[in-house]
Amino acid sequence: MPRISYQLYSSRNWDTSETFKMLADAGYKEVEGVGPHYEDLAKTQALLAAHGMTMPTGHFAPDLIESNSERVIEIARALGISTVIAPYLAAENRPTTLAGWKEFAARLAKMSEPIVAAGLEFAWHNHEFELEPVEGQMPLDIIAEASENIQLELDIAWVHVSGEDPVAWLSKYAGRIVATHVKDVAPKGENADEDGWADVGYGSLDWAAIKPAMDAAGVNRYVVEHDNPSDHKRMATRSLASVKAF
């Protein structure tokens, strides 16, 4: 069974100390970091140690990686992060042409170099916009083709939301997927108070087909996520049970 982690972004609306205790009580051993947890490294180190948890992966803004790779590497080493993941590109910064995407992919390739030179892995985490064709090509393909340094953290739910088949994308990039975000999408019209997301196993994704595809692709880490849970304890607990039952 692959390792199971928890994306701390899911619990951004709750107290950090409470979140770590809740996750430990639920049975999580790993978490995936985001920006707020890098602001007080001593506090995050203490929370990890107190609850017997590790943080093997972390999300870092592309601008920070590009402008201050030394700080990113410092944070990663302090918290035990071995994979630095660039997670998002704001709408106003997204290219609208093939040339623009190629330029952005080249920037990602360049910013990966000091990360990889430091002995860490570098990856891109997708949303749906990288799976919207531009001049006949998928931006996610352009990113992946830019450098062998660029691994992928494939967000299964965003692939589904884009209208693409998660199984096909898992197969396409087998061997280059350092982790998957496992989250679920509620049936159309449901869970409006949670922006249409669902706890893993309580939505519309076909995990019976996706799980074998993740295995075949060599995925060794599942990161539980929900973009806007109304109850993070419920979500974390039910999602972990579902993932363990895959």
* Mean pLDDT across 65-82: 98
Q: How confident is the model at residue 115 (pLDDT cuts 50, 70, 90)?
A: very high
> 233: buried, middle or exposed (CB in 10 Å: 19+, 13-18, 0-12)?
middle
Whether the CB-CB separation of 210 and 166 falls below 8 Å is answered with yes
Judged against a pLDDT cut of 90, whether residue 1 lies above it is answered with no
* Mean pLDDT across 228-245: 98
Task: Provide the strand spans (E) within the chain.
Answer: 3-6, 30-33, 54-59, 83-86, 121-125, 150-155, 177-182, 184-185, 197-198, 221-224
- Both tokens assigned to 26: 């639920």
pLDDT tens-digit profile of 4-32? 999 999 999 999 999 999 999 999 999 99
Percent of the chain with pLDDT over 70: 100
Q: What is the reported pLDDT for 112?
A: 98
212 residue type, one letter:
P
102 φψ region: left (φ > 0), alpha (ψ -120 to 50), beta (else) = alpha
DSSP for 59-108 reads E--HHHHHH-HHHHHHHHHHHT--EEEE----GGG---SHHHHHHHHHHH
Integer Cα distance of 24 and 80 in angstroms: 18
16 residue type, one letter:
T
pLDDT tens-digit profile of 181-235? 999 999 999 999 999 999 999 999 999 999 999 999 999 999 999 999 999 999 9
Integer Cα distance of 43 and 167 in angstroms: 39
The backbone torsions φ and ψ at residue 181, rounded to the nearest 5 degrees and listed phi first, read -85, 115
The per-type count for the chain, helices as H runs and strands as E runs, is: 10, 10
| Helix (H/G/I), strand (E/B), else coil: 35 | helix
Q: Is the pTM of this model over 0.85?
A: yes
* Mean pLDDT across 144-157: 98
